[in-house]
Amino acid sequence: MIRRAAAALLLLAGVAAAADIRPSRDFLSPELRAQQDDPSRHPGWLWVEEGEALWARGARSCQSCHGGIESMAGVAARYPAVATDGALLNLEGRIERCRTEQQGEAPFGYESEPLLSLTAAIAQRSRGMPMSVATDGAAAPFLERGRAFYETRQGQLNLACGQCHDDNAGRRLRGDVISNGLGTGYPAYRLEWNTLGSLHRRLRACSLGVRATQLSLGSPEYLALELYLAARAQGLPVEAPGLRR
Amino acid sequence: MRVVLALLLAAASPAAGQVAGFVVRGDAIEAPLAGLVGDAARGEAVVKNRETANCLICHSIPDPREPFMGEIGPPLAGVGGRLSPGQIRLRLVDPTRVNPGAIMPAYHRTHDLLRVDPRFAGRPVLGAQEIEDVVAWLVTLRE
């Protein structure tokens, strides 16, 4: 009872009940967890290596402004973030902006191989660091939108995210263990996809699972949800590139 | 009052033709939907079908041949001894009529749902005949 009251107070204060939320890696099988930790057995590292090559490629490369990719340490832990023009950007959106505005190139496109590769390579530089997204100021209204989406029952199966990822985390849904639904491992290599994919691709699978309308990759709803998921994960480690079933 | 409301909601739904009207008394729908007779063998197939109802994603049944059953909902073993056919029927049609916070989806309802995938909009998960078939099988699970 006291625990429930404390959780309600934390929610009122604008953050999730962090004590009840466990890192996604805790819900992996021991085999998958070991493989996630071992780059030599983790297929996601193919994208990391490709992304690191892209980082340095061309005359107006990422490196020509930012220096070595090691300068990206900690950046992924702070995304999604609100840009100076008021738009909420996730890491993919930030990279695309750099590409069009700073590098004068056409955008890669959501879920394209080069964008996934660069995102994975940059996110990997924050691996193990605690999530620390801004949730106040300009981010606050986006966080509220994300929370509302998370808490609303939707789809023909009429389910809210939290009914599985809060109320039933750790239990089995068919053969899968339900996690707390954090985005900290994305982009992730999913065995079901047999490739690396973005968090928004995963969210589309969630929407399909409850027979709700699948929203576009990069849609405002999924971006706000991504921020709310990141806020739920505050203080928990970045796991990207993750390895998932 | 609740009886009238249920009939009104069913009648007002754009997919009224796909959802049978029903009368709730207490926590049960005593009368079979649309007066249909359920078939237990067909009901067993509906329960085990992973594409439509997908009951076993959350529930287990007493059948050792079924791998990977869920543990979100209560085991269905013995449900026929715990609940009457009418109680089972209401819990399939719309569990939120018994518990507003129920995680279990309403399997025979089309109103008050948000952002439904257009491919499923206006259609219940299970039709009236399928509901009656599932009721007919679940009442046989007595231990």
25-84 of A, contacting B, C-beta below 8 A: none
**In a domain? residue B67:** yes
**In a domain? residue A9:** no
Determine what percent of chain A is predicted with pLDDT higher than 70. Answer: 92
Nearest to A156 by CA among B19, B37, B9: B19
**In a domain? residue A45:** yes
Residue A122 binned pLDDT confidence (cut-offs 50, 70, 90): very high
Report yes or no on whether pTM surpasses 0.80.
yes
Structural domains in chain B (count): 1
Strands A195-197 and A188-190: antiparallel
User: pLDDT at position B8, please?
Assistant: 44
Q: For residues A148-170, give the mean pLDDT.
A: 97
Output the average pLDDT for chain A: 93
User: pLDDT at position B15, please?
Assistant: 44
- Residue A63 pLDDT exceeds 70: yes
The complex's ipTM?
Answer: 0.87
Domain containing residue B130: 2-138
Give the catalytic positions of A in this structure.
206
Structural domains in chain A (count): 1
We report the CATH number of the domain holding residue A223 as 1.10.760.10
Q: Do A168 and B103 touch (CB under 8 A)?
A: yes
Strand arrangement, sheet containing A242-244 = A195-197, A188-190, A242-244
- Residue A3 pLDDT exceeds 60: no
Nearest to A34 by CA among A46, A25, A43: A25
**In a domain? residue B27:** yes
**In a domain? residue A17:** no
Q: For residues A150-176, give the mean pLDDT.
A: 95
Residue B143 binned pLDDT confidence (cut-offs 50, 70, 90): confident
Give CA–CA dist A88/A113, Å, rounded: 23
Residue A6 binned pLDDT confidence (cut-offs 50, 70, 90): very low
B4 touches chain A (CB under 8 A): no
- Residue B14 pLDDT exceeds 60: no
**In a domain? residue B143:** no
pLDDT in tens, A98-113: 999 999 999 999 999 9
Q: Do B105 and A175 touch (CB under 8 A)?
A: no
**In a domain? residue A160:** yes
pLDDT in tens, A206-218: 999 999 999 999 9
**In a domain? residue A27:** yes
63-102 of B, contacting A, C-beta below 8 A: 67-72, 96
pLDDT in tens, B95-127: 999 999 999 999 999 999 999 999 999 999 999
Domain containing residue A106: 22-244
How far apart are the CA of A214 and the nearest CA of chain B, in angstroms? 7
Q: Which of B67, B70, B119 sits opposite A173 (nearest CB)?
A: B70
Size of interface A-B (CB pairs under 8 A): 66
Residue in the block written with tokens 């990207």: A240
User: Under a CB-based contact definition with an 8 Å cutoff, are residues A72 and A129 in contact?
Assistant: no
pLDDT in tens, A177-197: 999 999 999 999 999 999 999
- Residue B12 pLDDT exceeds 60: no
**In a domain? residue B86:** yes
**In a domain? residue B114:** yes
Residue in the block written with tokens 């952002």: B115
Q: For residues B43-50, give the mean pLDDT.
A: 96
